[in-house]
Amino acid sequence: YMKKIQINFLGSEPDPSKKKFFLVVKVCAIVVAVLGVFAALAASNVISDEHPLSQIPFVKRVRQLIRSADRSLDGERDDRINILLLGMGGVGHEGPYLTDTIILASIKPTTRQVALISIPRDLAVPIPDYGWYKINHANAYGEARARESGGELVRTVLSDVLDMPIHYYVRIDFDGFMKLINDLGGIDVYVERGFVDTSYPTGENGNVRTLAFDAGWQHMDGGSALEFARSRHGSNGEGSDFARARRQQKILQAVKSRVFSLGTLRSPAKVSSVMEALSEHVKMNFSPWELLALARLAGTFDATSPITEVLDDDTDGFLVATIGADGAYLLVPRHNDWNPVRTFIQNIFTNGTGALATTAPIRIELQNGTTITGLAARTAAELEAAGFQVVRLGNAPTRTYTRTIIYDLSRGEHEAAQNELQQLLNAEVRNSAPSGSDTDTRGLADAGIAQAAGAPADFLIILGGE
């Protein structure tokens, strides 16, 4: 006698809770799919802008992003995009809305060139409804009128003064600046002149403290980068606003290099994540699609360093110092004539040549430090594709290198390129002698390296096996 086996070909009844879960998932998937279809239709103009479906936030956002590929940034058609970069203390700092960092960043899309022009905070300008004041007051006056409108007022004032359109602005406070650099894992900056500042403000009741920076390459976190960018009373020629402006430009270049090396600009998700993290500390007039379009454009820039200028009161500068009616220190154009300043800035990409001013490519000497056949040639092709110029190719005197080593023969002149090379090649950097030394070969024991130091190259790279 065999016991009858009961077989349920229909299967057991599923758990009601699981049934409900899968139902919700299916419904959500259908909703997302439908919205996606409507967004695509909206983007392709099958659904008009006036159609109610186009007003759904999700559809509206997707529509903007899809269409952004066919739209131009302001100024792009004129081959000159101008962006104002502003830095302020922010809430909790003395003079929270005074913009002591003012940099005009200009982009020339057709040649992939960038220019950074530092505007001194003491420059006297006419501010509507207020009169002539230092340019660093404009943001504060704008905030007094209406919250979050300071950056727009600075943009308008400088556009009028320079007689040229400034299309966009980005304003960041101290906390946002530090967070950005910390989130990037820090930056590498070449300090040309070591200095000591015994009067660095602590932000507490006017107290000060001492800080110091050594010459050479320094890895900085957000805090030390902020100190490097803000210091105004340093020794060794670093005690002026103009010296500070040049340091701020170096910080910007280092941030750019770090962002490029991490591939941030190539990923819309990463761009969105960074901006969301900084949302409390950054104000700008870029729309989401414009921000992504700028990131795509920036991703095409080559490895050459940007053109950098500081408006100053040197003997050959465009400005002179004066004292205002209230006894304040001010900077004004020579002979009260703005035209030379305007002409210089408007022609920043052609100054000094009468034709298009091109930045020389970074020159590389490449040596194969291994026995791997063709390694140098393959690497040279990759570097040239990235915008570098390989001026010499060969084998190293020693062929037992395990790590790739970069020797900076430019004394820190091309720190942005050095950072990019380090990331591209996963290399170790060994820098030349500090600025002021009578030789670039000190510490380079290998005879082949010493000989290369006199060659017309900015960097010597010896390829390792790893």
Is residue 15 situated within a structural domain? Answer: no
Of these ranges, 118-127, 237-246, 309-318, the one predicted with the greatest mean pLDDT is 118-127
C-alpha torsion sign, points 148, 153, 156, 161: negative
- Whether 221 shows a pLDDT value over 80: the answer reads yes
Is there a single domain that holds both residue 60 and residue 87? Answer: no
Which carries the bigger pLDDT value, residue 218 or residue 257? 218
Going by C-alpha positions, the residue among 65, 457, 105, 446 that lies closest to residue 272 is 65
Is there a single domain that holds both residue 255 and residue 376? Answer: no
Is there a single domain that holds both residue 301 and residue 245? Answer: yes
pLDDT tens digit string along 370-399?
999 889 988 988 888 777 888 888 898 889
- Whether 44 shows a pLDDT value over 50: the answer reads no
Q: Which residues face 219 on adjacent strands?
A: 188
Is residue 1 situated within a structural domain? Answer: no
Is residue 278 situated within a structural domain? Answer: yes
Is there a single domain that holds both residue 333 and residue 414? Answer: no
Is there a single domain that holds both residue 39 and residue 172? Answer: no
Is there a single domain that holds both residue 65 and residue 91? Answer: no
- CA angle, 90 then 93 then 97, to 5°: 40
- Whether 19 shows a pLDDT value over 70: the answer reads no
What's 406's domain CATH number?
3.30.70.2390
- Strand segments (E) across 256-377: 282-284, 307-310, 319-323, 329-333, 363-368
Rg, the chain, Cα only: 28
Is residue 3 situated within a structural domain? Answer: no
- Whether 289 shows a pLDDT value over 60: the answer reads yes
Is residue 187 situated within a structural domain? Answer: yes
Is there a single domain that holds both residue 100 and residue 237? Answer: yes
* Confidence at residue 423, expressed as pLDDT on a 0 to 100 scale: 78
Is there a single domain that holds both residue 184 and residue 105? Answer: yes
Is there a single domain that holds both residue 332 and residue 454? Answer: no
Q: Which two tokens stand for residue 52?
A: 């109610």
Q: Which two tokens stand for residue 358?
A: 């091109």
Residue 451 — very low, low, confident or very high, per pLDDT cuts 50/70/90? very low
Lowest mean pLDDT segment, chosen from 22-26, 241-245, 414-418: 22-26
What's 133's domain CATH number?
3.40.630.190
Interatomic CA distance for residues 454 and 409, integer angstroms: 9
Residue 51 — very low, low, confident or very high, per pLDDT cuts 50/70/90? low
- Whether 2 shows a pLDDT value over 60: the answer reads no
Is there a single domain that holds both residue 250 and residue 199? Answer: yes
Is there a single domain that holds both residue 203 and residue 62? Answer: no
Is residue 353 situated within a structural domain? Answer: no
- Whether 334 shows a pLDDT value over 80: the answer reads yes
Is residue 237 situated within a structural domain? Answer: yes
Say if CB 461 and CB 390 are below 8 A apart: no
- Whether 214 shows a pLDDT value over 60: the answer reads yes
Is residue 202 situated within a structural domain? Answer: yes
Entry pTM: 0.65
- Whether 311 shows a pLDDT value over 80: the answer reads yes
Percent of the chain with pLDDT over 90: 36
Residue 4 — very low, low, confident or very high, per pLDDT cuts 50/70/90? very low
Look up the domain containing 450 and give its range.
363-463
CA atoms within 13 A on the CB side of 143: 17
Residue ending a domain, among 291, 320, 346, is 346
Residue 455 — very low, low, confident or very high, per pLDDT cuts 50/70/90? very low
Residue 421 — very low, low, confident or very high, per pLDDT cuts 50/70/90? confident
pLDDT tens digit string along 175-191?
999 998 998 889 898 89
Number of domains in the chain: 3
Residues 6+ apart with CB under 8 A from 380: 364, 366, 390, 393
CB atoms within 10 A of CB 338: 16
Mean pLDDT of 23-41: 49
- Whether 425 shows a pLDDT value over 60: the answer reads yes
* Confidence at residue 255, expressed as pLDDT on a 0 to 100 scale: 86
Residue 95 — very low, low, confident or very high, per pLDDT cuts 50/70/90? confident
Is there a single domain that holds both residue 341 and residue 408? Answer: no
Say if CB 233 and CB 239 are below 8 A apart: yes
